[in-house]
Chains A and B, each alone.
Chain A
Amino acid sequence: MNYRNRVFLTAVLTALPLLIVTPAFAADDEFEKAEQALASKDYKTAIPILEKLVEADPDSSRNASEYRQAILRQSIAGHPKEGAVLDFDKEISFFEKQAAAHPNSSNIYLHYGFAYVDKIAAAGSITQVILANTALTQFTKSLELKPTWIGLYTRGNSYLYWPRIFGRTSLGVSDLERAYAMQKAEPKKSFHVRVYISLGDGYWKSDNIDKAVAVWREGVTQFPNSQPLKDRLSRQGEDLRAYIDNVLDPGRRVDTDLRELWGQP
């Protein structure tokens, strides 16, 4: 089950506001040095720098995300396809230490959860479920410390990928409804479209088709160029079911490269 990629993508898309509001590190020399090293695939240089940056500023989602991506890229470079379990174990261990050192950092717990998600693709099918479940535990801790939009969206979206038999769809809908309420109280941002998509998917997976269509339609009025929303609204019945089943297929892989957030190649 590729919870990793889905949650990762969620992170990519939803971390944007935090990144926007924490631009200070963009000018950070060390961060730039790490980015340059990453650009040349010099992971041995980049990773220690990013680790120090996370340690120094645990509330920086950008540093933490970039650190995880560095680990991921390094692992995949050494072990094509899915990376190596041991690499991700180091990543988990790193965030475990950070969580111990910064027990009140919502951001650290969020990325601690992502660290488990990062490992999923490299693991077997049962371990994937265990990892996804552990990731949810960390996301919950993050939310308990600070109920952020990104935290709610990440956890809510993650719940949607669990098969119905686990009964977690309603939990996902609940989180996404809270994220929806949050964004309604804020000025519109481009990434808010994601909640319209996912919340509708959650309603659909709860067999509440009317509410799904309603939220997708509302999303289109806010984001008329959203192809995912148009795709959903243009389908009905089995066609729509096949489409969303495909989107929420636990086996589906999604490109989750976080560099795109920073507008880098």
Chain B
Amino acid sequence: MKRLVITAGAYLGCIGAVLIAAEATGARWFEDVTKKAGINARHGNRVFDNPYAKIMAGYTALGASASVADYDGDGFDDVFVTDSKLGGKNHLYHNNGNMTFTDVAESAGVANANDDKNAVADSLWFDFNNDGRPDLLVVRFGHNQLYQNMGNGKFKDVSHAAGIDGYKNAITAIAFDYDRDGKLDLFVGSYFQPINIFNPETPRFFPESFETANNGGGVTVYHNNGNGTFTDVTDKTGLRLSGWTLDLGHADADNDGWDDLYVAADFGTDRFFHNNGNGTFTDITETAIGIDSKKGMNVDWGDFDNDGLLDIYVTNITDDYMREGNFLWHNNGNLTFSDVSRETNSFETGWGWGAKFFDYDNDGWLDLYVTNGWVSAGKDSYVPDIFNMVTKPGIDFADARNWPPMGNKSLSGYEKKKLFHNEHGQLFKDQAARHGVDSQKDGRGVAIADFDNDGRLDMFVANASGEPNLYRNTMPAGAHWVQFALQGTKSNRTAIGAQVRLTAGGSTRLQFISGGNSFAGQSSNRVHFGLGDVAKIDQIEVRWPNGEKEVFTGIAVDKLQKIVEGSSKRK
């Protein structure tokens, strides 16, 4: 644990008296306002209609996701929530500004996405045409949809014109400017290989191995041409893969100004790619994180120990029958990482799904919310069935016919979500039960945003085959905070990839803007710093996505501040 050197200064350890008092009382700091907010539409899993439907039902309980952006620029973050059942509507919840939401998906033209040839798996807001309005990508098993935000509450389907609608069994997507040309590029991760899973021509489309499968959908990289179109540059970038991708996460691991890429894969090895700064990536998995055979589900980056380097949290499967454990990859600063999940108590979270770093108590340390749970159904367990299969000699796992139907059985179901409070970068302490956020639903994604603009971060949790949860943060006032909305001018307009280093109270902390990191959840792209009892910020340094740095001073606390690239007095 000594390597987790705490470099943040005293101010981070000095939480305001009010906070301390509230902590001592054990008061609940989150309120479930899902129904009250009108944001409680239930997600439905896709039920397939093909010869393998009964088997597939157990392995496609996916597609519940939530993506946050202020799509109409009214100063309040909105949220897009997906459904997956046949005919199921997606929801664009417009934030009314009073912690209630109105579903405007139909009128906006983004509700329809689930038909007999497509099932929604995820979504992503990204401003592909750099006009300052977040556009919307709907990620599907089938053909992805790209909706251009027209700025009048309407969206236009430009999928085909953009060239991103080829058949894929896509499950995740992120956007960042990997080549620093000022435009957001698109990275799509696919689970199954690009066969028509709605009507498969072969039964051999399941993972060929539980640990080294290479018959999955891999990654597709779309370079943004800047004219509304994209070009598939997967091979050119060196990112041609064939694993069962579940999540992608980007950030600058070595602070060289170029964002690197972590690929979490189910049934096989996660991959780490270093951005060479010339439009290509190099696979440095062996030296960076080593070769694993786990079930990578989630990638989120954050500097949990405030040492100025971005760390990575990856969920895997940890149950009594499969004890993989999560990864908390501590960034060693030399493009190598050390797993400190056991030491920090973030190792075991059940069948992990989306997880997100955020500072829920504004104490200056990134906490962590982890969703989990695969299928919560009947009292009988599916575990013996699956292990009866895997222990059959010479069995062909790729053949779907060999997999037992799950029926109404449960597998790692009814698991309690985790809200890990960060104890000064040394330890994570689960506070989910205390704060009432330990739901046992089958969680998939979590999106973090300050929906009511009160300086306290709220959580939206997307659950498979169930209602979501909107948790409003009601922590007692007292701890200071500051938020930044960055706008690029030379860099991409939403400043995806920008790093912000805030100095206050004698120490400096790092946050960055991600383009959709974390499984099935996209959080607000505002940069949020909890400040504890520190009421004065010395300065912030913004390193824009194009590599240029600016320093800003005279920043007030407890406010949302807009920062435009090139607007500082000194650089």
> Which A residues have a C-beta under 8 Å from some C-beta of B?
1, 123-127, 129-130, 133-134, 163-167, 249-251
Q: Which residues of B contact A134 (CB under 8 A)?
A: 391
Q: Known contacts A124-B211, A124-B294, A166-B384; is A130 also within 8 Å of B391 by CB?
A: yes
In this assembly, does B390 line the interface, its C-beta being within 8 Å of a C-beta of chain A? Answer: yes
Determine the distance from Cα of A123 to Cα of B387 in the docked complex, in whole angstroms.
16
A127 nearest in chain B by CB position: B211
From B211, B317, B384, give the contact of A165 (CB < 8 A): B384
B390 touches A130 (CB 8 A): yes
User: Considering only CB atoms, which chain A residue lies closest to B324 in the complex?
Assistant: A125
**Contact partners of A127 in chain B: CB under 8 A:** 210-211, 293
Whether A165 contacts B381 in the complex (CB less than 8 A), given A1-B323, A125-B324, A126-B210, comes out as yes
Interface centre among A125, A134, A166 (most CB of B within 10 A): A125
Distance A127 CA – B390 CA, assembled complex (angstroms): 8
- Minimum Cβ distance to chain B for residue A81 (Å): 10
Closest CB pairs A-B (n = 8): A124-B293, A124-B211, A126-B210, A163-B320, A251-B323, A133-B391, A125-B322, A165-B383
Q: Is the interface of B mostly helix, strand, loop or mixed?
A: loop
- Give the CA-CA distance A250 to B211 in the complex, in Å: 18
Are B390 and A165 within 8 A (Cβ)?
no
List B contacts of A167 (CB < 8 A).
384
Which residue, B211, B317, B391, has most C-beta atoms of chain A within 10 A? Answer: B391
Complex contacts, A124 vs chain B, CB 8 Å: 210-212, 293-294
A166→B321 CA distance, assembly (Å): 9
Find chain B residues with CB under 8 A from A126 CB: 210-211, 322, 390
Q: Beta-carbon contacts of B308-348 to A below 8 Å, as 1s and 0s?
A: 00000000010011111100000000000000000000000
- Which B residues are CB-close (under 8 A) to A133? 387, 391
A130 to chain B, nearest CB (A): 6
A130 surroundings in chain B (CB, below 8 A)? 390-391
User: Which residue in chain A gives the minimum CB-CB distance to B322?
Assistant: A125
The one of B212, B294, B317, B391 in contact with A129, judged by C-beta atoms closer than 8 angstroms, is B391
Contact B321 A129 (CB under 8 A): yes
Q: How far is the CA of A250 from the CA of B348 in the complex (A)?
A: 14
Quick check: A125 and B323 within 8 Å, CB to CB? yes
A133 to B321, CA, bound (A): 13
Q: Name the residue of chain B whose CB is nearest to the CB of A133.
A: B391
CB-based nearest A residue for B395: A130
Would A125 and B294 count as touching, CB distance under 8 A? yes
Which of A126, A166, A251 has the largest number of chain B CB atoms within 10 A? Answer: A126
Instruction: Return A239 CB to nearest CB of chain B, in Å.
Output: 20
Residue pair B323, A250 in contact (C-beta under 8 Å): yes
A165 touches B210 (CB 8 A): no
Known interface pairs A124-B210, A125-B294; A165-B321 also in contact (CB < 8 Å)? yes
Question: Chain B residues near A251 (CB, 8 Å)?
Answer: 323, 325
Instruction: Please name the residue on chain A nearest to B325 by beta carbon.
Output: A251
Interface residues as binary, B358-393 with A (CB distance below 8 Å gives 1, 0 otherwise): 000000000000000000000001011001001100
- Cβ proximity bits B386-413 to A, threshold 8 Å, 1 near / 0 not: 0100110000000000000000000000
In the complex, what distance in Å separates the CA atom of A76 from the CA atom of B212? 22
A125 to B210: give the CA distance in the assembly, Å. 9
Query: In chain A, what residue has the closest Cβ to B211?
Result: A124
Q: Which residues of B have CB within 8 Å of A129? A: 321-322, 387, 390-391
The residue on B at minimum CB distance from A126 is B210
Q: Smallest CB-CB separation from A125: which chain B residue?
A: B322
The residue of chain A having its C-beta at the shortest distance from the C-beta of B317 within the complex is A125
Residues of chain A contacted by B383 (CB below 8 angstroms): 163, 165-166
Residue in chain B with minimal CB distance to A166: B384
Interface centre among A123, A124, A130 (most CB of B within 10 A): A124
In the bound complex, what is the Cα–Cα distance between A27 and B496 (angstroms)?
73
The winner among B294, B320, B325 for most chain A CB atoms within 10 A is B320
How far is it, in angstroms, between the C-alpha of A127 and the C-alpha of B209 when the chains are bound? 10
| Residue contacts A-B, CB under 8 angstroms, 13 given | A1-B323, A123-B211, A124-B293, A124-B294, A126-B211, A129-B321, A129-B322, A129-B390, A129-B391, A164-B320, A165-B381, A250-B320, A251-B323
